[in-house]
């Protein structure tokens, strides 16, 4: 497996693969990999001849006071996991390589970034779209695979690809959960045993909301209040947001007519966890 550290090397590698008529896929990550990432790699491998996994903790998507410095990192462990998953190349540039002195460009998606995480993390998605655009330009993949755990991020990336006429097939993959329902996340390691137990209220309340919709409840205020109450009853969760939104525009919904996404972000201690579920009436 090849380890690539520079844009020049990455361009050269991808050019060789493309010239050999190979289909190249990319799974962008910030490292500290888990089974959720591996599920993306397996899907990407199915859809391509050459699997590239990027590992880069992107400083410009973290806001002031967030956990950029503390974000878990273990490159040797990640390398072993990518190799076992069948990866052909890890692209792991430095911050200086990605944002050299004099760097001054950002990529911004205007509307679908405004709600949900964009409300309390106003610079976050500019950082996400900028780094993903740079990864796409360096790797030049035919296919890129992302997880649906960050529903808004996936929607934002698809909008960017559409708007900028990028010739990339963006694939979303279902949330991978622990046996008890907690969505897998690199930030789960921040949780104390008590916080982790309380964090189960996220998936449990989402599953309950899904059953309520299937039983005929369409009022999103009722659904949101139910989920909020379940999380608050733990006495440990500090809610950032709980919202039901249109799956395409990500604007708030007052009623569910066909389908909508219920998304949430909640702090347990220093861990900010996100989760979501698509609610369908039938």
pLDDT confidence tier of residue 198, bands split at 50, 70 and 90: very high
Residue-wise pLDDT tens digits, 109-145: 999 999 999 999 999 999 999 999 999 999 999 999 9
Asked whether residue 148 falls in the same domain as residue 273, the answer is no
pLDDT in tens, 204-245: 999 999 999 999 999 999 999 999 999 999 999 999 999 999
Note whether residue 260 is domain-resident. Answer: yes
Residues 152 and 206 in one domain: no
Residue 40 has pLDDT above 90, yes or no: yes
> CATH number, domain at 221?
3.30.1300.10
Percentage with pLDDT > 70 across the chain: 100
pTM above 0.85, yes or no: yes
In the sheet that 89-91 helps form, which strands lie side by side, from edge to edge? 2-4, 89-91, 50-55, 24-29, 143-147, 169-173
User: Chain-wide mean pLDDT for the chain?
Assistant: 98
Domain boundary among 173, 194, 228: 173
> Per the structure, how many domains does the chain have?
2
Is residue 282 pLDDT above 90, yes or no? no
Same-domain status, 192 and 169: no
The pLDDT assigned to 36 comes to 97
Are 209 and 237 part of one and the same domain?
Answer: yes
Is the residue at 53 inside a domain? yes
Of the pLDDT bands very low, low, confident and very high (cuts 50, 70, 90), residue 20 is very high
245 and 119 housed in the same domain = no
Read off the pLDDT of residues 253-265 as tens digits, 9 standing for 90 and up: 999 999 999 999 9
Same domain (yes/no): 88, 197: no
Note the pLDDT of residue 73. Answer: 97
Asked if residue 229 and residue 165 are part of one domain, the reply reads no
- pLDDT bracket for residue 184 (50, 70, 90): very high
Q: Which of 152, 173, 194 is the last residue of a domain?
A: 173
- In this structure, is residue 181 part of a structural domain? no
Q: What is the mean pLDDT of residues 175-184?
A: 98
Same domain flag for 69 and 155 = yes
Q: What are the pLDDT digits (tens) for 52-79? A: 999 999 999 999 999 999 999 999 999 9
In a domain, residue 201? The reply is yes
Domain that holds residue 93: 2-173
Q: Are residues 151 and 28 in the same domain?
A: yes
Query: In terms of domains, do 89 and 200 share one?
Result: no
Q: Which residues are catalytic?
A: 37
**199 and 232 inside one domain:** yes
Are 226 and 144 part of one and the same domain? Answer: no
| CATH at residue 25 | 3.40.50.620
């Amino acid at each position: 497996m090849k380890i690539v550290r520079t844009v020049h090397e990455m361009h050269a590698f991808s050019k060789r693969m493309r010239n050999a008529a190979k289909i190249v896929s990319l799974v962008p990550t910030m490292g500290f990999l888990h089974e959720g990432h591996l599920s993306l790699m397996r899907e990407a491998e199915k859809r391509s001849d050459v699997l590239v996994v990027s590992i880069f903790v992107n400083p410009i998507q973290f806001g002031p006071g967030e956990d950029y410095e503390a974000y878990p990192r273990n490159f040797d462990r990640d390398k072993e996991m990518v190799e076992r998953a069948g990866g052909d190349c890890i692209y792991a540039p430095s911050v200086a390589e990605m944002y050299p002195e004099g760097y001054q460009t950002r990529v911004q998606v205007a509307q679908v970034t405004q709600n949900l995480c964009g409300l309390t993390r106003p610079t976050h998605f500019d950082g996400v779209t900028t780094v993903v655009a740079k990864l796409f330009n360096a790797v030049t993949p035919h296919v890129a695979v992302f997880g649906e755990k960050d529903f808004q991020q996936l929607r934002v990336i698809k909008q960017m690809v559409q708007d900028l006429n990028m010739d990339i097939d963006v694939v979303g993959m279902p949330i991978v959960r622990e046996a008890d329902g907690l969505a897998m996340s690199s930030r789960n390691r921040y949780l104390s045993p008590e916080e982790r137990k309380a964090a189960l209220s996220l998936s449990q309340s989402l599953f309950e909301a899904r059953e309520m919709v299937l039983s005929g409840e369409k009022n999103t205020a009722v659904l949101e209040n139910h989920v909020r109450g379940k999380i608050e009853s733990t006495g440990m969760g500090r809610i950032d947001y709980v919202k039901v939104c249109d799956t395409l525009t990500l604007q708030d919904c007052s009623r569910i007519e066909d389908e909508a996404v219920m998304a949430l972000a909640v702090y347990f201690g220093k861990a900010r966890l996100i989760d979501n579920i698509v609610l369908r009436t039938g």
